[in-house]
Homo-oligomer: A and B are copies of this chain.
Amino acid sequence: MAGQGEIVQRKIVMIGCGVVGQGFLEILVQKKELLSKKFGFEPVLVGVSDMMKGSVMVPEGIDIPAFLEHVSAGKKIDEFSAPGAVAGLDSIATIQQADADIMVEVTYTDIKTGEPATSHMREALKKGMSIATTNKGPITLHFKELCGLAEQNKAILKYEGVVMSGTPIFDLLDYCLAVNDVKEIKGILNGTTNFMLEKMEEENMAYDDALALAQKLGFAEADPTADVEGFDALAKVIILSNVVLGGNIGTDDAERIGISGITIEDVQQAKAENMRYKLIGSTKLVDGKIIASVKPVKLPLSDPLAGVGGAVNALTFSTDLSGDITIQGSGAGKIETGFAIMIDVLNIHREL
């Protein structure tokens, strides 16, 4: 832990340089003075490697505003010039040679293989680097192995953004609700479907129209399967089951029903009963076994999750000491998800 008033430099290598990575770098620029004055933290970005955009390593530290301008202009990262810059290394070589304290892993998520992110993480942890990531793949598939590697190498593994993006849940449990036994977790883990169900109820919109509107507004992909069939929410439920409840389950071990079977009649019938359909992800430990699911549930309006409207996420943790604690916030966005990396990096700084 850094002493009061002291400023500590932490070397950061960033693997992946898409929306989230750039959001993180923008926050580093915007909050430079605060990070230094309030937290004694001076980030030094020593390398960036992106599979599509190229890579650069600068042992003395990259000028972050200049780098962001370079990338925003659509230029290759290899072409970023700085004294002592080494270009063209692949991601693994960048991790091996960067001599960083922290790796920021923000490559694309592959939920089936967890690659290439898992290989990046193994490599970083073996070198004793701590990790901040928003990548669901490795945390869904290889959580226990990665924790073991982190412990062996006295490194810290942080992944606040993998479930609710910039809305804190793992830090909430670790720092604010520690000592509690979490008995059950349930919530709204997909903003797109929450938006669609709300439109069907409030504006009497048919399913297909609600989906078309979500696509038009950029919430839903052209292929909406991951959202509407519950696969996105399911990955988050698996993570919560394994990370928070200590389970060891895969995507085949949980029930999954999407909202594509929900009709406008179902939604309106629920409304007439003072109830509301929500796509609920939930998990609990019963007699040592995880019971997890994603499915549409008709909630009474008095349920805290019933009032969660719009393209947001919310989770209720049922605990033994603090009762039910519900947190709600954005589940996506460039700056919000960039913040998830920022808080992980800052907490690594505070704990190192």
Contact = CB atoms under 8 A, between A and B. Distances in A.
Interface in A279-334: 301-302, 304, 306-310, 314, 321-330, 333
Contact of A326 (B27, B34, B328, B336): B328
A347 interface: yes
- How many protomers of this protein does the assembly include? 2
A176 to B, nearest CB: 4
A27, A35, A176, A324: residue with the most chain B Cβ atoms closer than 10 Å: A176
Given A329-B322, A339-B321, A175 B178 contact: no
Contact of A302 (B310, B327, B338): B310
A158 to B, nearest CB: 12
A336 B323 CA distance: 7
A34 B180 CA distance: 10
Contact of A323 (B301, B307, B309, B333): B333
A280 to B, nearest CB: 15
Interface residues of A, number: 47
A196 interface: no
B39 A178 contact: yes
Given A176-B175, A321-B342, A342-B179, A328 B304 contact: yes
Contact of A27 (B321, B323, B324): B321
**Among all A-B residue pairs, the 9 with the closest Cβ atoms:** A307-B307, A168-B176, A175-B175, A171-B176, A325-B329, A326-B328, A321-B339, A323-B330, A166-B322
